[in-house]
Amino acid sequence: MSVPDKPSIDGLEEKWSAAWEADELYRFDRSKSREEIYSIDTPPITASGSLHVGHVFSYTHTDLVARFQRMRGREVFYPMGWDDNGLPSERRVQNFYGVRCDPSLPYDVDFTPPVDGAKAKDQVPISRRNFVELCDVLTAEDEQAYEAVWRRLALSVDWSEPYRTIGSHPRAISQKAFLRNLARGDAYQAEAPTLWDITFRTAVAQAELEDRERPGAYHRIGFARVDGGGEVWIETTRPELLPACVALVAHPDDERYQPLFGTDVRTPVFGVKVPVLAHRLADPDKGSGIAMICTFGDLNDVTWWRELQLPMRAILGVDGRLLPDPPDDVDASAYSRVTGKTVFAAREETVAMLQEAGALEGDPKQITHPVKFYEKGDRPLEIVTTRQWYLRNGGRDGELREALLARGQALNWHPPHMQVRYEHWVNGLTGDWLISRQRYFGVPFPVWYRLDDAGEPIHDDLLLPDETSLPIDPSSDCPPGYIESQRGQPGGFVGDPDVMDTWATSSLSPQIAGGWTFDDDLMARVFPMDLRPQGQDIIRTWLFSTVVRSHLEFGVTPWANAAISGWILDPDRKKMSKSKGEVITPIALFDEYGSDAVRYWAASARLGTDAAFDVGQMKIGRRLAIKALNASNFALTLGATPDLAAVTEPLDRSLLAALATVIEDATKAFAGYDHTHALKVTETFFWTFCDDYVELIKERGYGSHGEAGAASAKATLGTALSVLLRLFAPFMPYVTEEVWSWWQKGSIHRADWPTVDEVKLSDLTGTEATLLTLIGVALSKVRGAKSTAQVSMRTPVSRAVVRAAAGDIERLQTVSHDLAAAGRIEQIEFEPTDDSEITIDVTM
RNA sequence: GGGCGAUUAGCUCAGCUGGUCAGAGCGCUCGCCUCACACGCGAGAGGCCACUGGUUCAAGUCCAGUAUCGCCCACCA
């Protein structure tokens, strides 16, 4: 045993994180059986930019569970993954190096990124392969920085094999899962109106949408009736879509428009004859009660277009500009004034034309209305008809939807009400999952198309790779039976240019971490997993999509438990913004308060509950860590040694009896994913232990009450210390490990979780546990008297008279020597009274 | 418009299936250099548990409604 003279929490993080790494303390032992293993589906994090305190918060929650389960004897499978494909990485590369991807450029072997590219005004166009290489380099660097933070936070993950979603195996697994989806009919391609981000020039999925309030204006536009019966006035915020108009629509019960149903009107300026139709989705209270249907202004247009079987007059290209050629029936000279223009410019021009034609009534009426955005974009989404890949997710299939809802019910949600969010989302799906993205850095679709004699792809004629050849890149690999020279040639082939949505890969995180089809032995030992920890914001994406993939591939729910962490809020109760969160870096917090303290802050927030960013809580955590160090130092210096047989003193018996309850409560709470309660009961007991118990037995421990009395105190101190350190170990891994190393063999993090048996005394009576509380009250009275007299706590008391109920007096008398010693009372007397309150007359 | 959650001392939060539950910590006040810890210790003051009804012998604790805040979904002509 080696207890330092002056213990300090400084330097513990460097010391122990290095030791844990050297000892491979958290290395997963795959020889264990499924029953012995506790497996965690760690969220693969996007390592673009810097870690946010919110990440520290939720990842700590997971680590608490991991450490608890490990100490309980489970072999914990706790991998780490990086979600490095996708738009965030691309954007980071663009900004960091000052480059942009131009797929038409050839690969440049000697390419080096521009110096100071981040400050350059214009981004350098580079080939897709060069771009992907830069993504690869930069994400790897970012991931190392993240790993350093995670290690400092003491996440007990097995760092031996972190996966990257852009890595070879994950890519292969993603492609393989897709091919199997395709073979089963779960995946299909369709040419359909698609929500489209014109900045990124990619399709986006329903799960990635968000609404934002934007200014707009109602334009009141007159359509001439073909029968000469005057004009029909509609109101629209999108006048530039007039050339895309295919019909007008009003509610079937709307008496104002009933006479018009079935008749035709003519679009102003562009002169197209369109029908007036009835549909239940038309809202009589909106605008003039009659709307123009365009291909396409919003999702309602898509519904009307589909259900009313209207023609297509597409005018918007994938670049967000109006197409060069007018749609069918549209006046070419009028259209020539808007062709090639952006939506905004086209709107101005169309309004001008309408005014010239006298078809615009009054001034546009300014309003604010919600507009759909891609969550990572900053321009409104448009709807463009494109060919895309979809994966069935119950959005168009009641039976599948029910099955997925049942999967959600089979999951233990922590907290339970989070299940509602899942069900809400599944019930609100309006279509299948669009998984293709017109991007560069991602997992490519493992698909080629045969080209016809004119060199056009035949989309029904898929050329697929053999599973064993995965991963493949169809833009550089050839389909079986073809050679590279046939690429792009009539009768040859062409690769699918798209990559998969990042969720299409991260939804396979259990398969990736478990080594599905590459290491089926491992997969069988860890899957279905025990725990999926994640944020509430990605229930609709990551959680749901993982359930979908698991259901389609294996027919099971992928985990037993889902632990959902809340948000971090600013002190002003607003969700902590990205910019603010990035100002406060986790490293700075570790430096100032210590990792144990930051973990303490995170641990004091329950799952599913938003928590304030509160450095006050970190200060408390820091204080607790220092206290643990000092109290341990004292107890061990005194000679604390666990030995139940030596515990004879009433107060000591009482402490252990109370500790048994703490073990019970903390264990039950932890097992039920209530780490907050586990921490609370342990912490509360610990402070009583320090402030009351240790003070009460101090003198006796030094030998003032004989050998047996001292031995009893030391044995109790030893037992309690051992238990308390282990109860704290998941929360404060550094300080507990440090203290453990002074007097125990091995790491505390591989020690056994404490059990009631360790502190169980024979012939314990029911009330013994409360003796500690009783003497605590008495001690407080003595201290109060000294405090009131404004004297030091070590001021001697010549005489003290304790008055309390007879029963309490009887029990207090059994510990009077401890009370007298702690209060420096020379003469102590007891008087039973009828009052239930304890009072002490103190003479100094 | 539909839904979920929250509303307890100045602040951050505990209060499980109704009856010592009106609590903790921080902050504040007043003391104390007590030989583990001044990165400390002790003692205090502070709340009619958002509001209105209801159920009950008994309600922060259950029910209904209202208000405020946060979030999700829908709408977006």
- Residues A510, A558: Cα–Cα separation, whole Å: 7
Mean pLDDT of A172-192: 96
Nucleic strand B contacts from chain A, 217-256, CB < 7 Å: 218, 234-238, 249-250
pLDDT digits (tens, 9 = 90+) for A598-631: 999 999 999 998 888 888 899 999 999 999 999 9
User: Distance from residue A619 (CA) to nucleotide B26 (C1'), in Å?
Assistant: 9
- Residues A569, A575: Cα–Cα separation, whole Å: 4
**CB of residue A767 closer than 7 A to nucleic acid strand B?**
no
Residue A574 confidence (pLDDT): 62
Mean pLDDT of A138-162: 93
A583: Cβ contacts below 8 Å, ≥ 6 apart: none
**CB of residue A417 closer than 7 A to nucleic acid strand B?**
yes
Lowest average pLDDT, out of A394-403, A508-517, A576-585, goes to A576-585
- Closest nucleotide to A297: CA versus each C1': B77
Element (H, E) at A734: helix A733-743
Residue A549 confidence (pLDDT): 97
- Closest nucleotide to A789: CA versus each C1': B31
Q: Residue A555 is which amino acid?
A: G
**Count of Cβ atoms closer than 10 Å to residue A228 Cβ:** 6
Examine the pLDDT at A578 and tell me if it is beyond 60: no
Examine the pLDDT at A2 and tell me if it is beyond 90: no
**CB of residue A778 closer than 7 A to nucleic acid strand B?**
no
- Confidence grade of residue A117 (pLDDT, cut at 50, 70, 90): confident
Q: What is the ipTM of this complex?
A: 0.95
**CB of residue A816 closer than 7 A to nucleic acid strand B?**
no
What is the SS3 assignment for A717? helix
- Token pair for A682: 């342990």
Higher pLDDT, A629 or A91: A629
- The 3-state secondary structure of A274-285 reads EEEEECCCCCCC
User: Distance from residue A336 (CA) to nucleotide B61 (C1'), in Å?
Assistant: 71
pLDDT digits (tens, 9 = 90+) for A532-575: 999 888 899 999 999 999 999 999 999 999 999 988 877 655 66
In sign, the C-alpha dihedral spanning A382, A388, A394, A397 is positive
- Confidence grade of residue A785 (pLDDT, cut at 50, 70, 90): very high
A464 with A183: CB under 8 angstroms?
A: no
**CB of residue A780 closer than 7 A to nucleic acid strand B?**
yes
pLDDT digits (tens, 9 = 90+) for A717-744: 999 999 999 999 999 999 999 999 999 9
User: Distance from residue A779 (CA) to nucleotide B20 (C1'), in Å?
Assistant: 21
Over pLDDT 70: what percentage of chain A?
98
| Strand B contact nucleotides, protein CB < 7 Å | 2-5, 11-15, 20, 24-26, 30-37, 39-44, 69-77
Whole-prediction pTM = 0.91
Examine the pLDDT at A477 and tell me if it is beyond 60: yes
**Total count of residues recorded for chain A:** 844
What is the SS3 assignment for A124? strand
What is the SS3 assignment for A729? coil
- Token pair for A627: 């206290």
- Token pair for A143: 């991931």
Examine the pLDDT at A370 and tell me if it is beyond 90: no
Nucleic strand B contacts from chain A, 1-30, CB < 7 Å: 8-9
Residue A571 confidence (pLDDT): 61
Element (H, E) at A212: strand A209-225
Q: Angle, nearest 10°, between helix axes A544-554 and A418-427?
A: 70
Does a cis peptide bond (omega within 30 degrees of 0) precede residue A670? no
**CB of residue A672 closer than 7 A to nucleic acid strand B?**
no
- Residues A258, A280: Cα–Cα separation, whole Å: 13
Residue A135 confidence (pLDDT): 87
pLDDT digits (tens, 9 = 90+) for A18-55: 999 999 999 999 999 999 999 999 999 888 777 888 89
Examine the pLDDT at A346 and tell me if it is beyond 70: yes
Question: Any long-range contacts for A733-736 (C-beta under 8 Å, 24+ apart)?
Answer: A733/A16, A733/A67, A733/A154, A733/A156, A733/A596, A733/A599, A734/A9, A734/A12, A734/A13, A734/A16, A734/A154, A734/A594, A734/A595, A734/A596, A734/A625, A735/A9, A735/A12, A735/A596, A735/A625, A735/A628, A735/A629, A736/A628
**CB of residue A486 closer than 7 A to nucleic acid strand B?**
no
Residue A614 confidence (pLDDT): 86
Examine the pLDDT at A579 and tell me if it is beyond 70: no
- Closest nucleotide to A249: CA versus each C1': B77
> Buried (b) or exposed (e) across A136-149, using 16+ Cβ within 10 A?
bebbeebbeebbeb
Residue A580 confidence (pLDDT): 56
Mean pLDDT for chain A? Answer: 92
User: Distance from residue A822 (CA) to nucleotide B35 (C1'), in Å?
Assistant: 14
User: Distance from residue A611 (CA) to nucleotide B13 (C1'), in Å?
Assistant: 10
A533 with A477: CB under 8 angstroms?
A: no
**CB of residue A374 closer than 7 A to nucleic acid strand B?**
no
Nearest to A57 by CA among A616, A541, A586: A586
Examine the pLDDT at A213 and tell me if it is beyond 90: no
Examine the pLDDT at A834 and tell me if it is beyond 90: no
- Closest nucleotide to A290: CA versus each C1': B77
Pairing of strands A499-500, A436-437: antiparallel
pLDDT digits (tens, 9 = 90+) for A691-709: 999 999 999 999 989 999 9
Nearest to A770 by CA among A812, A713, A804: A812
Instruction: Specify the DSSP class assigned to residue A8.
Output: -
Nucleic strand B contacts from chain A, 620-649, CB < 7 Å: 620, 622-623, 626-627, 630-631, 633-634, 637
**CB of residue A421 closer than 7 A to nucleic acid strand B?**
yes
- Residue closest to sugar C1' of B39 by CA: A623
Residue A287 confidence (pLDDT): 82
